[in-house]
Amino acid sequence: MSAVATSIDHAATTDDPVLAVRGATKRFGSVVALDDVSIEVRRGEILGLLGDNGAGKSTLTKCISGVHQLDAGAILLDGASTQIRSPADARFAGIETVYQDLALFDNLTPGQNFFAGRELAWPQWLPRGLRFLQQRKMDAETRVLLANLKVTLPRLDAVVAMMSGGQRQAIAVARSTVFARKVVILDEPTAALGLRESRQVLNLVAALRDQGNAVILITHNMEHVVELADRAVVLRQGRKVGELMPTKDNKQELVSMIVGA
Amino acid sequence: MPETGNTGTTAGEAALPASRKQEAVPGLALGLALLSAGPVVILVLLIVVLSFLSPYFLTGRNLSNILAQTAVISVVAMGQHLVILTRGIDLSVGSNVALASVVGALSFHAGAPAIVVIAVMVGCGAAVGAINGLFYVFGRLPHPFIITLATLSIAKGLALQLADGRAIPGMPGSIDALGREAVWGLPGSVFVVAGVAAVLFVMAKTMVWGRWIYAVGGRPDAAVRMGIPVSWVLVSVYVISGLCAGIGAVILAGRTDAGSPLFGNLLELDTIAAVIIGGASFLGGRGHLGHALIGAIMIGVIRNALNLLNVNVFFQLIVIGVVIVIAVESDVLRNYLEGRMRVMQAGRQS
C-alpha cells in the first residue's frame, strides 16, 4: 500500500493536472467518435464525464486506458506526453479502469481478481509467467485492502461467480485501488445497482479520491454528479460542449448541454 | 458513514432468522459438492460394482493393465485439459502422436541414440503444437477447431507419407522398457504419467502462468484488459498439448516397439472425453489436472470392464458416448445451480 501513501504526498504538493488529454480525435470508419476533445484532471479531484449514449464518453476513456488508440491528439501524464498502446501500458503508467462490464473473472476468488495480471511472485529474475505465486502475501494484502475500504464479503475463498451485483461492483472498484497510483476511471459504476448498493459504491469512489487519485467518473445520474464531482465535462456527438462546476442550481443547465437543447 | 460503509454482507443478513439462512443455501451447496465430487464417486462405484461382476477385475495384474493401457490417454488428456481450460480444443493430438512416433522410428533407424530419439519425438509433438498455437493466435483464426483440424489432417498425411503407410518396427531398448514392468508390478509408462502430472500440477497451481490460464479461460477479454499476455498464454497451452502428444508417442512406441502412422487413431476424441468426463468444464476456466486423470482412468476402466464381460467392441463406443452426454449435462446443471446460488446470495443481503 506504499503507492497510496506517496500519492497523498503528491496531492498536497502539486496542483498541475496529473492527466491531460489534448485534442483527442478518434474515428471508427466514417464515424467520428471523438472530435478534438481536451480534458484535464488533478490529484484528489473527481471529474464527472457526462453525455448521452454515443456521445463519446466510453471511447474517450477507452483511449486513456489503452483499449483504443487515438487517431490524433496527445495524452499527458504529469505533463509528459505518454504513448498508451495497450491496457498493460495504461496500468503500468498508473491508470486503473473500472469497466462498465466490471471485467471480473467469475472463476477466480476476489483476491485472485485483485492481483490478476499483477500477481505477487518470485524470483524477480525469472520471466513474469514463470515466477511462483506468493499466495499468502496476496491473501493478506487482500484482507487489508478490503478492511481499509470497509468492504466485507461473505467468503474470500469463494469464486466471484457466487457473489451479488453489489459485491461484484465493490470488488471491481476495490481492485482499481490496489495499483492505482495516478488516475482511476469508473464507467457507470452504479448503473446496475439498487439505491443502497449505489451509495456504498459512491463511498468507495470518494475513498479513491481521498487517497489522492485523480478520478474520472462516467455516470448518467445528475444527483451523483452534483454530490461528488468537482468539475463536469459534457460531451455531445464526440465534441466537448461544456465544462462547469456542478451545483444544485446548474443541474438543469448540465442536462440541457447533454441533450443539446 | 457507519451505516452505509459496508458493502456485501450487512446487518440485514444478521437480522434474518437463522433457520432461513440454514435452509436457503446448504441444499444448493450440497448439490454443488456432489457434482464436483461426482466423477470420483462414480469411478469408485464403478470399481466396486465391477469387482463383483468379474472375479478377474480387481486383481493386481488387471489393474496394472488398465493403468498401462490408459497411460497414453492420460498424458495427452493432461495437455488437452490445459487447452480446454482456455476455452480451446486440440483435435490434432492423435495425428501428432502418429507423426511423432514415425519421425522417432526414422531417426532410430538413421542411427540416433535413445535420448535423441526421445527428444525428436517430444520435439516433433511440441512443434506441431506450436504451429497450432501460432496460427490460431497470430493468424487471428476465430476458433482453434479450424487450425487443429487442419493439422490433424496434415500430420496424419505426413506420417503416412514418411512411413509409406506402414508401421516401422524397432525402437531403442530404453524406450521399450517403458512398456515393460518396472516397479511394484507397474509398467514404466505409469511413472512417466506420474512425472508429467507432477510437473504440470506444480506449473498450474503455483506459477503465475497457471493463474493466467484460468484467467484467460474465465474471461479472455478481461484478461487482455488486465494486462495478461493472452496471446502467449494461448500459444503456450497448445505447445504443451503437443509436447504431451510427443510424450504419448514415446510411451506408445515403447509398448509396441514401433512407430506407426496408425497410432493415436481417435485419440483426440478419447482425450476430450476424458477431460469432460473427469469433470472439467467445456466452457473454460474450470477444472484441474485430476479431472483429466480421473476421466482417462474411467475410460480405461469402462473399456477394460466391457472386455472382461465379453461385451461387443462396438458397444464400447456407445457407452463412452453416453457417458460424455451425462458429463456435459452435469456441467450444465452445475452452472445452473451456481446461478441459483448467486440469486440466493443477493437475496440474503437485501
Instruction: Let me know if residue A195 belongs to a domain.
Output: yes
Quote the pLDDT of residue B148.
Answer: 97
pLDDT in tens, A67-111: 999 999 999 999 899 999 988 889 889 999 999 889 999 999 999
Q: Does B53 touch chain A (CB under 8 A)?
A: no
> What is the rounded CA–CA span in Å between residue A75 and residue B295?
52
ipTM above 0.95? no
CB A158 within 8 A of CB B345: no
DSSP per-residue letters across A119-170: --EE-TTS-GGGSEE-HHHHHHHHHHHHHHTTEE-S-SSS-GGGS-HHHHHH
Contact partners, residue A25, CB within 8 Å, separation at least 6: A32, A34, A35, A36, A37, A70, A71, A72, A73
Instruction: Let me know if residue A230 belongs to a domain.
Output: yes
Answer yes or no: do A167 and B219 touch at CB < 8 A. no
For residue B148, CA distances in Å to B93, B126, B154, B159 come to 8, 13, 10, 16
pLDDT per position in chain B (350 positions), as tens? 333 334 443 333 333 333 344 445 677 777 777 777 778 888 888 889 888 988 889 888 899 889 989 999 999 999 999 999 999 999 999 999 999 999 999 999 999 999 999 999 999 999 999 999 999 999 999 999 999 999 999 999 999 999 999 999 999 988 888 887 777 888 889 999 999 999 999 999 999 999 999 999 999 999 998 989 999 999 999 999 999 999 999 999 999 999 999 999 999 999 999 998 888 888 889 888 999 999 999 999 988 988 888 888 888 888 888 888 888 888 788 778 877 776 776 666 54
Q: Tell me the one-letter amino acid at A67.
A: V
Q: Chain A: residue nearest B215 by CA? A: A105
> What is the rounded CA–CA span in Å between residue A95 and residue A260?
31
> What is the rounded CA–CA span in Å between residue B245 and residue B263?
11
CB A43 within 8 A of CB A214: yes
Q: Chain B: residue nearest A87 by CA? A: B225
> What is the rounded CA–CA span in Å between residue B313 and residue B291?
26
Percentage of chain A beyond pLDDT 90 is: 49
Instruction: Let me know if residue A29 belongs to a domain.
Output: yes
**What residues of B are in contact with residue A107 (Cβ under 8 Å)?**
214, 217-219, 285-286
- Among B7, B217, B223, whose Cβ lies nearest the Cβ of A166? B7
Of the candidate ranges A57-66, A148-157, B5-14, B274-283, the one whose mean pLDDT is the lowest:
B5-14
User: Nearest-CA distance from A10 to chain B in Å?
Assistant: 26
pLDDT for A11 beyond 70: no
> What is the rounded CA–CA span in Å between residue B48 and residue B54?
10
DSSP H helices, B8-143, are 11-15, 18-24, 26-53, 60-85, 93-109, 114-138
What are the sequence ranges of the domains in chain B?
Answer: 68-299
User: Nearest-CA distance from A153 to chain B in Å?
Assistant: 5
Range of the domain at A233: 2-105+180-259
> What is the rounded CA–CA span in Å between residue A70 and residue A89?
14
Q: How far is CA B285 from the centre of its chain?
A: 13
pTM (global) more than 0.95: no
Quote the pLDDT of residue B32.
Answer: 76
Mean of per-residue pLDDT scores for chain A = 87
Instruction: Let me know if residue A165 belongs to a domain.
Output: no
pLDDT in tens, A165-197: 888 888 998 888 877 778 999 999 888 787 888
Q: Which residue has the cell 437485501?
A: B350
- Among A103, A167, A200, whose Cβ lies nearest the Cβ of B226? A103
Instruction: Let me know if residue A126 belongs to a domain.
Output: no
Give the closest residue to B46 by CA, choosing from B327, B326, B297. Answer: B297
User: Nearest-CA distance from B205 to chain A in Å?
Assistant: 9
CB B96 within 8 A of CB B125: yes
Strands A19-28 and A31-41: antiparallel
Quote the pLDDT of residue A121.
Answer: 94
Say which CATH number the domain at A6 has.
3.40.50.300
Average pLDDT over residues A143-153: 84
Quote the pLDDT of residue A166.
Answer: 83
* Most B-contacting residue of A105, A132, A205 (CB-CB within 10 A), to test interface: A105
Q: How many domains does chain A have?
A: 1
